[in-house]
Amino acid sequence: MDLLEKINSRKAQVGILGMGYVGLPLAMEFAKAGFHVTGFDVNAERVGQLCDGISYIQDVPTEEVAKFVKNGQFRATTDFDLLSEIDTINICVPTPLRKTKDPDVSYIVQAVDEIKKRLHKGQLILLESTTYPGTTDELMRPELESTGLKAGVDFYLGFSPERVDPGNPDFQTRNIPKVVGGVTAECNKHACALYETSMDTVVPVGSPQSAEMVKLLENTFRSVNIGLVNELALMCNRMNIDVWEVINAAATKPFGFMPFYPGPGLGGHCIPVDPFYLSWKARATGFEARFIELAGMINSSMPDYVATLVTESLNEQERSVKGSRVLALGVAYKSDIDDVRESPALDVIQILRKSGAEVVYHDPFVDSIKIDGDTLTSVPLNEDTLRSVQCVVVTTGHTGTDYEWVLKNCSGLVDTRNVLPGTTDPKLIRL
């Protein structure tokens, strides 16, 4: 039975490398489609939880994992030798930036090395991790073909960017259109066949490079526009104009405008990272991506600006930052999720601590965080906590919080998320 027959009959053994925010939801979709799925991860604790039928991803219910573990459609393992039994492999490993803002593809390299040792004819390998254009064809393909097997003939290789939006109730793995680019037409055909079993819409493109660029364009588009409104917020502050009122009024135009909103900085794995992947690749070709890098500089400066607003709030109380106690409300990178990856709230806390402030935080979704080697735990949000601090800074606008009550009971509040629109109070400073 060839691979297409195995896919269409749901007899293909599906493997996913990386059981994080991308890999686990994808595994569940393939299991729902009727496949037997093996999730690979180097984290033994994470694998143990999955084997016990427990989910640690907010968008994946524990009941769902438990169901597929119990009926035998899903298993998790740290044993990469099982890759030799797998027909299709999706790579969903982290792709962070180094401190120098260069791409760190070491996790992809490690994944490819494990696959290469067990590569066999008829296998389909798909990279989903965000990366720079050329990774699939220039980094992965030569390594896999060093086994003597040829892409498009003996095995199939392609790229399909993850488009996960944690906490989004409307768009999840299944109904987000899936862009696919294979290194050959045969690779594309096999990749599309796999995704068509589990995704509502599959969008083939002509090459992995195009698919890789799609993801970078999507998030660079957001980064640049957020950079624009962040700069507009700084400008409006100088002019004593309410930037939120301006954006909301502009958004009434039914064409030619899409609203973006300012904030304390960019968070999440993708938007703060992807533009640097693109500008790094551009520099490698001798092209300077000035527009993209300028937006990155503006967005990166926002946590420092928020810290100056906290200083302004404390100055109104005739207090210095040093020795003051500050409460950060929310440390997740966006509202109503538990994900703190690249959260600007962490930068704001770090900056204030370096200035001598004692910073505590409250977040109903995040029990603890690490700052400069210290572990901070979420404090309760009550009157005693509010009386014990000199300033509250809203860094994430979780919807379950009564911000009017917070403002009423605190000495000063800095609102970076417009959680108190239209409110006028001398204690309130709005971004």
DSSP 390: S
Q: What is the CA radius of gyration of the chain?
A: 24
First to last CA, the chain: 61
Dihedral class, residue 403 (left if φ above 0, else alpha if ψ from -120 to 50, else beta): alpha
Query: 285-308 burial, b for 16+ CB within 10 Å, e for fewer?
Result: eeeebeebbebbebbbebbebbbe
As a dihedral over the C-alpha atoms of residue 267, residue 268, residue 272, residue 275, rounded to 10 degrees, the angle is: -150
CB 262 within 8 A of CB 226: yes
Catalytic residue among 92, 270, 391, 410: 270
Report, in this order, helix, strand and coil percent for the chain, each rounded to 5: 40, 15, 45
* 11, two tokens: 């007899």
Look up tokens 């990178």; give the residue.
333
What's the 3-state SS for 160-215?
A: CCCCCCCCCCCCCCCCCCEEEEECCHHHHHHHHHHHHCCCCCEEEECCHHHHHHHH
Backbone angles phi, psi at 343, to 5 degrees: -65, 130
Closest by Cα among 288, 267, 423 to 335? 267
Has 270 been annotated as catalytic? yes
Residues noted as catalytic? 270
